[in-house]
Structure 1
């Protein structure tokens, strides 16, 4: 179909959108894998990412007179970013440390967390005005939400920070 001299192929534009959605999603996952040190899998994901990208960009370049191709390419990129973030959050790769600063006695909280299968390290800490109780839990990232829910339920006044861990050796990981 043509409109004002422009070639309009909506099926081709939809294909470009889907290809771009896929390659940007894979690119996001590949970046996370590289950051987590999973090199071989990251390289394999990158291989397929680039094959998909080449097909997408070649379709755009072959039909530059179709404005929908360009819009689909940009739209697929934007949606691919969102999809990549969604996939990365669901994969929840890696190890995380949760620091819990409890204003009240933390022995009960530590005991409940241990009973739930988390390894807990207790330390004495001093806050701005008072002595505080400090718990440190190293755990797989996919278990962080359950730990946070448990902490909020048992110690609602606690202050929590969550950090990514590059690697961990020894110790206990649930």
Structure 2
């Protein structure tokens, strides 16, 4: 099958999808602090990389191999991103600013299982309610949808916190019990 031109192109394409997907996942695991799992993934990543690159370098006289390598690389990036979205590792902080002071939005969100810290802030058009909510990343879009349903005009910003210290969540985050 390796002597078959189309077969070679398909093999190079698929190998590079696997390589770049593993590369993307390994980098994300590294950024999220899963060092040992990232190191384990890198074993497979580098074996697949050497295999795919070797096939291309041994057959450089066929431009379609290089094209397959490049297309596999791009496809692997997309697959890796999709896998990372599904894994949704880590936590997200969502900041919400709303003018709905009369509505007890913090309590409504707490009743839905979210931890909310809130305070009164002063904006251009008067008093505002400011809320800060920490939640697992996998809950981010549900939280955003909940906030939008409660106040379609809320200003919402989300970001990933790098470190945690203090607060009621920290013990359960470190133990891995809070979902």
The TM-score normalised by the length of structure 1 is: 0.91
The yes-or-no answer on 1:18 pairing with 2:4 is no
For residue 58 of structure 2, what is the aligned residue in structure 1?
62
The yes-or-no answer on 1:34 pairing with 2:30 is yes
Q: Secondary structure at the match of 1:120?
A: strand
In 2, Cα distance between equivalents of 1:106 and 1:54: 62
Task: Give how far 1:30 is off.
Answer: 1.1
- Root mean square deviation, CA, Å: 1.5
Q: How many residues align?
A: 168
Task: Give how far 1:128 is off.
Answer: 2.3
Unaligned runs of 5+ in 2: 170-177
Question: Which of 130, 136, 139 lines up with 1:134 in the alignment?
Answer: 130
Residues 10 and 106 of structure 1: is their aligned pair in 2 closer, same or farther, counting only changes over 3 Å?
farther
In 2, Cα distance between equivalents of 1:42 and 1:120: 33
For residue 114 of structure 1, what is the aligned residue in structure 2?
110
In 1, Cα distance between equivalents of 2:127 and 2:149: 22
Q: How does 1:137-156 map to 2 (within 5 A)?
A: 137-156=133-152
For residue 171 of structure 1, what is the aligned residue in structure 2?
168
For residue 174 of structure 2, what is the aligned residue in structure 1?
none
Task: Give how far 1:136 is off.
Answer: 0.6
The yes-or-no answer on 1:101 pairing with 2:104 is no
Q: Secondary structure at the match of 2:115?
A: coil
The worse-fitting range, judged by mean Cα deviation, of 108-117 and 133-142 is 108-117
Q: Secondary structure at the match of 2:124?
A: coil
The yes-or-no answer on 1:72 pairing with 2:50 is no
Contact 1:13–1:69, Cα closer than 8 Å, also in 2: yes
In 2, Cα distance between equivalents of 1:106 and 1:168: 32
For residue 3 of structure 1, what is the aligned residue in structure 2?
none
Task: Give how far 1:107 is off.
Answer: 4.9
